[in-house]
């Protein structure tokens, strides 16, 4: 069973200090919630960046 979560509830929880682990390809969600972004390609971590350093091009 696939379950979809209301992203606004997840965002609010994150703003209130709850750690969120989310896998997504939606860059608008990443931009809104990012504090740490780990990029994975073919099962390998290719980037692990903190807020302010994430760049889609690199």
Q: Is the pTM of this model over 0.85?
A: no
Structural tokens at position 9: 């509830």
Kindly provide the residue ranges of all beta strands, DSSP E only, lying in 1-58, ordered along the sequence: 36-41, 44-50
Q: Would the pLDDT of 57 be above 80? A: no
Alpha-carbon span 20 to 8, nearest angstrom = 13
Q: What is the mean pLDDT of residues 35-49?
A: 86
Q: What is the mean pLDDT of residues 33-45?
A: 84
Q: Would the pLDDT of 29 be above 80? A: no
Alpha-carbon span 39 to 13, nearest angstrom = 22
Comparing 54 with 11, which gets the higher pLDDT?
11
Of the pLDDT bands very low, low, confident and very high (cuts 50, 70, 90), residue 42 is very high
- Parse the chain into domains and list their residue ranges: 21-58
Local structure of 7: helix, strand or coil: helix
Alpha-carbon span 42 to 18, nearest angstrom = 28
């Amino acid at each position: 069973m696939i379950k979809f979560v209301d992203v606004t509830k997840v965002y609010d929880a994150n703003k209130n200090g709850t750690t969120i682990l989310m896998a997504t390809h939606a860059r608008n969600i990443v931009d809104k919630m990012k504090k740490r972004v780990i990029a994975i390609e073919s099962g390998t971590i290719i980037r692990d960046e903190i807020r302010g350093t994430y760049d889609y091009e690199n």
